[in-house]
Amino acid sequence: MTFQEQILQGIPSELPQKRSYNLEANHAPKRKDILSDEEKKLAIRNALRYFPKAWHQELAGEFAQELKDFGRIYMYRFKPNYEMYARPLKDYPAQSVQTAAIMVMIQNNLNPAVAQHPEELITYGGNGAVFQNWAQYLLTMQYLAKMSDNQTLHLYSGHPMGLFPSPKSAPRVIVTNGMMVPNYSKQDDWEKFNALGVTQYGQMTAGSFMYIGPQGIVHGTTITVMNAFRKILPKGETPAGKIFLTAGLGGMSGAQPKAGNIVGCITICAEVNAQAATKRYSQGWVDELISDMDELINRVQEAQSKNEVVSIAFIGNVVDVWERFDKEDIFVHVGSDQTSLHIPWTGGYYPVGTTFEESNRLIREEPQVFKSMVQESLRRHAAAVNKHAHKGTYFFDYGNAFLLEASRAGADVMAENKIDFKYPSYVQDILGPMCFDYGFGPFRWVCTSGKPSDLDRTDEIAGEVLTQIMKTAPEEIQLQMQDNITWIQDAKDNKMVVGSQARILYADAEGRAKIASAFNAAVASGEIGPVVLGRDHHDVSGTDSPYRETSNIYDGSKFTADMAIHNVIGDSFRGATWVSIHNGGGVGWGEVVNGGFGLVLDGSEEADERLKSMLFYDVNNGIARRSWARNKDAIFAIKREMARTPDLEVTVPNLVDDGLLEGLL
C-alpha cells in the first residue's frame, strides 16, 4: 500500500504481524507497576476496544505483556511501516490545506530525529506524548484525511473522540490533555490513569503538535543565558572563556549547548543517557563528547585559558561535575539545570552514584528505593550548587521544578523567609520582566512545503518586518528588538533545523501580526507554500505556572489558571486552526495549566483576518493579566496598546503607596 492509502485506511483491515521490539530505539523508561489486577484487566479491555472482536484473543495476551513489561500498552504491532517525518503538504491525502497541515505537524512531532521516545509516541520531557498508543495515531490521521472544513475533530488526551459538525470559522481540531478533576492530579494519578489508557501528559508543545525540536527553545535559552551573563559581567566584557554549567540533553534541554555557542561561552551540559548525548552530537547541537571526568577537567581548563567558545556534552551525572569543579576550584559563572524534574521518580532525574541502566531497573522494580536515591542526590546537588554560589556563581532555576523538588527533598534551597527559594526562576529575573511583560514570546512557524528555500525566505521577511518596526519602537523595547533582529539574521548560520523547516523568533503582538501577514501575502503570491503559525506554550499568555511562566506575578494570583483557559477559548473563536489545553507541562502534572494553538496561512483573505484577530488577543490577554498584577512594564505595554487600538479597553490597576499600609495591622 502507498503512504496515502495507509493513512486513509486507519486501523488496518487485516491484523498486522507482531513486531519485534526495537532494541536500537531510545525507549521511554519502564513505568511504575501501579495497577491492581482488576485495573490491569480494565486497561486491557480499554485497549481492545479499538479493534475488531475477532482480534481480541490474540491481542489480549500481547497487550497484557506490554503492560507487564513497560507499564503501558503502546500497541507496537500497529506502528505503521512508513517512515515517520514531516512530508511536503501535497503528499498528504486530505480535503483541505488546514487538515493536511495538522498531519504535517503530527508527523514532525513523531519523527525520530525530533522525538525523544518515538516508539512510545513521546516527543520530549520523558512523558510528553502526542498519543497514548498507535491506534490513536492511526485513527486521528484517518479522520484528518477525510474530514471537511465543516467538521471539527475532538481529541481527548490523544483519543480521537470523533468528527462533529461545525462552521468553517471554528477550529478544525480541539485538543485536551490530562484535564483531571482537581483532586486527581497527583503524580501517582498520572501513573494510574495513563496506564489505564484514559489520559496522557501532553507536556506543552508535544500534545499540541507544535514541537519543532530543540530549536523550539533555543531562542529562549539564548536570551536567558545571554542576559544571565549581562547581569554578572562588566559592561563590554564578553562571555568568551566563561562557564555555563547545566544538565539535560534528551528533549528541549538539548537546546542548551547550541544556545551557549550562540551566546559565546563555554557550555558544559551533563547527560546520563549516552544515547541522548550522542544524538545531539550527531545533530550538531553540541561540539564535543566527553565521558571521563579527568578529561573534562583538562578540556575545560584549556578552554578557559584560551577564551574559547565551545559546548561540551559530559556523559555522566551533573552532581559529580558540580562537586569536582568545586574541588578543582573551577569557577562557574552561570549555572542551571534542565533535567525533567517534573517526573523525578520515573526517569526525569537520575541520581548520582548509580548507572543509567541500574536506575531504570530501580524505577520499575524498587520505586521507593529509587525515590530515596533521587532525594539524596537532590540534597547533594543543591549543596554543591550552594558552594559555587558562595564563590559568586549566578544560579537560576530553569523552570524544570529543580528547586521545588529539591525543597521537597529537604535540600538547602529556601530563602531566609522560608517561603521563597534562595535562587530565582529565570522568568522572575529575566524572561518575565524583559520579555513576557512587554508581550515578547516564542512565536514560531513551519513551512509546510518542506523546502529550505521557503524557510530562507520567511527568515528574510521576518528580518525585514522587525527592522521596519525597530525604527519607531519605544526605548523600553529597543534591546529586545535588536536581539531578535540579530537572531533571525543569524538563524540559518546557526543550523538549528531538525525535522521540519521551522523557525522560532521572540516577537510581540505587533511583530507577530505583521510578520504573519507578510507570510500570508507571500503564500498568496506563490512565493512560498502554506505556513503553520504557532508558539511555545511558554509564552506571555498561554500558561499559568506559579514556578515558571507566572513566577513573576506577585499579587497572589500566580496559583490561578484563568489566563490559560481564557487564552484557549479566546483563540478558538478568533481564528485558530486548532487549539489545545493541557494539565501539566514543564514543571509537572498538577502544577501548571497551559494552552497552545496552530494557525494555517494559506494565502487567503480569511487567513489574514484570522491572524490579526487571534494573534492580537493571544498576546494581549497575558499582558492585561500581568498589568493587573501591577507589573510595571506590563502596565506600560497595555497602555501603549490601548492608545493605538481603539477597541481595546483594559482594567488598569491603581497603585498603592506602600507606606500607607505600614502600621495598619
Spatial separation of the C-alpha atoms in residues 240 and 601, rounded to whole Å: 41
Say whether 596 counts as a known binding-site residue: no
Spatial separation of the C-alpha atoms in residues 282 and 290, rounded to whole Å: 14
- Mean pLDDT for 162-190 is 96
Would you place residue 291 in the very low, low, confident or very high pLDDT band (cuts 50, 70, 90)? very high
Q: Which one, of 170, 129, 128, lies nearest residue 147 by Cα? A: 170
pLDDT in tens, 501-510: 999 999 999 9
Number of Cβ atoms within 10 Å of the Cβ of 221: 27
Angle between helices 187-195 and 37-48 in degrees, nearest 10: 50
| Helix, strand, coil share (%) of the chain residues, nearest 5 | 45, 15, 40
| Local structure of residue 557 (DSSP, 8 states) | G
CA atoms within 13 A on the CB side of 165: 0
Would you place residue 46 in the very low, low, confident or very high pLDDT band (cuts 50, 70, 90)? very high
Cα 473 to its chain centre, rounded Å, is: 30
Say whether 586 counts as a known binding-site residue: yes
Burial class (CB in 10 A: 0-12, 13-18, 19+), 644: exposed
- pLDDT for res 216: 75
- Mean pLDDT for 55-59 is 98
Would you place residue 215 in the very low, low, confident or very high pLDDT band (cuts 50, 70, 90)? confident
Spatial separation of the C-alpha atoms in residues 106 and 532, rounded to whole Å: 12
Q: Which residues pair with 595 in a beta bridge?
A: 581
- Mean pLDDT for 230-236 is 91
Cα-Cα end-to-end distance for the chain? 76
Number of Cβ atoms within 10 Å of the Cβ of 1: 12
Say whether 271 counts as a known binding-site residue: yes
Would you place residue 496 in the very low, low, confident or very high pLDDT band (cuts 50, 70, 90)? confident
Say whether 284 counts as a known binding-site residue: no
- Mean pLDDT for 614-643 is 97
Q: Which residues of 143-157 are buried (b: 16+ CB within 10 A; e: fewer)?
A: bbbbbebebbbbbbb
Q: What angle do CA 504, 506, 511 make, to 5 degrees?
A: 105
- Mean pLDDT for 489-496 is 87
Strand-pair category, 334-335 with 394-395:
parallel
| Local structure of residue 635 (DSSP, 8 states) | H
Say whether 575 counts as a known binding-site residue: no
User: What own/partner pairs with CB < 8 Å and gap ≥ 24 does 525-529 have?
Assistant: 525/603, 527/457, 528/447, 528/449, 528/451, 528/454, 528/457, 528/458, 529/88, 529/89, 529/447, 529/448, 529/449, 529/451, 529/454
User: What is the percent of the chain where pLDDT is above 70?
Assistant: 100
Q: Which residues pair with 597 in a beta bridge?
A: 579
Number of Cβ atoms within 10 Å of the Cβ of 525: 9
The DSSP secondary structure of 414-438, one letter per residue, reads B-TTSSSBSS-BHIIIIIHHHTGGG
Spatial separation of the C-alpha atoms in residues 4 and 215, rounded to whole Å: 30
3-state secondary structure 452-500: HHHHHHHHHHHHHHHHHHHCCCCHHHHHHHHHHHHHHHHCCCCCCCCCC
- Mean pLDDT for 482-496 is 89
- pLDDT for res 224: 92
Is the pLDDT at 585 greater than 70? The verdict is yes
Range among 16-25, 96-105, 252-261 rated most confident:
96-105
User: What own/partner pairs with CB < 8 Å and gap ≥ 24 does 419-425 have?
Assistant: 421/397, 423/385, 423/389, 423/395, 423/396, 423/397, 424/396, 424/397, 425/396, 425/397, 425/399, 425/547, 425/548, 425/551, 425/552
- pLDDT for res 495: 84
Spatial separation of the C-alpha atoms in residues 76 and 133, rounded to whole Å: 8
- Mean pLDDT for 199-203 is 96
Contact 158, 203 (CB under 8 A): no
pLDDT in tens, 390-441: 999 999 998 788 999 999 999 999 999 888 899 988 988 888 999 999 999 9
Taking the model in full, what pTM does it have? Answer: 0.89
User: What own/partner pairs with CB < 8 Å and gap ≥ 24 does 289-295 have?
Assistant: 289/313, 289/315, 290/314, 290/315, 291/315, 291/316, 293/320, 293/321, 293/324
pLDDT in tens, 351-380: 999 999 999 999 989 999 999 999 999 999
- Mean pLDDT for 74-102 is 97
Residue type, 260: G
Number of Cβ atoms within 10 Å of the Cβ of 231: 12
Say whether 463 counts as a known binding-site residue: no
pLDDT in tens, 142-160: 999 999 999 999 999 999 9
- pLDDT for res 55: 98
Q: Is 107 helix (H, G, I), strand (E, B) or coil?
A: helix
Q: Which helix (H) or strand (E) holds 645?
A: none
Cell of 300: 575545560
- Mean pLDDT for 543-564 is 93
- pLDDT for res 658: 87
Strand-pair category, 502-507 with 441-447:
antiparallel
Would you place residue 252 in the very low, low, confident or very high pLDDT band (cuts 50, 70, 90)? low
Mean pLDDT, the chain, integer: 95
Strand-pair category, 531-535 with 543-544:
unpaired
